[in-house]
Amino acid sequence: MDVLAVQLAVVRRRYPAAGLESASDGSRLLMVPEVHLCHGWSATVTSMRVLIPVGFPHVKPDCFYADAALRLASGAEPASSNLQNVFGGQYRWFSWHISAWDPARGSLDQYLRVCESRLRPAR
């Protein structure tokens, strides 16, 4: 079993419907539906997408995507985000970077938790 399959199994403990898709460049896309959001967002849940680079885990993931309609409850755009046409649709890209990454210990679940931390609090 490859490293991504093993790590996806860990993500699925929290998000049973999570899955991976392959991209034409050899990268993979982690798709996580129904990520629950805190108060302050325009929605109570969003889907999340993370591009897993070729060479993962030696190459760390960077940034993430949420549903295009996701905004702050006030209607304002979230900080450090914009809309992008990617993955065959339009998604909200969050410029969010992990500060430290250990390829020997870094995991999809760890990175997903970093992405979730960006969504708390809503800003």
pLDDT tens, residue order, the chain (123 aa)? 588 999 999 999 999 999 999 877 888 999 999 999 999 999 999 999 999 999 999 999 999 999 999 999 999 999 999 999 998 899 999 999 988 899 999 999 999 999 999 999 999
Three-state SS at 87: coil
pLDDT at 2: 87
Query: How is the chain split into domains, by residue range?
Result: 3-118
CB 70 within 8 A of CB 123: no
pLDDT at 79: 97
What does pTM read for this prediction? Answer: 0.93
Three-state SS at 20: strand
CB 2 within 8 A of CB 22: no
User: Long-range contacts for 62-66 (Cβ within 8 Å, ≥24 apart)?
Assistant: 62/97, 62/98, 63/93, 63/94, 63/95, 63/96, 63/97, 64/93, 64/94, 64/96, 64/115, 64/118, 65/91, 65/92, 65/93, 65/94, 66/35, 66/91, 66/92, 66/94, 66/119
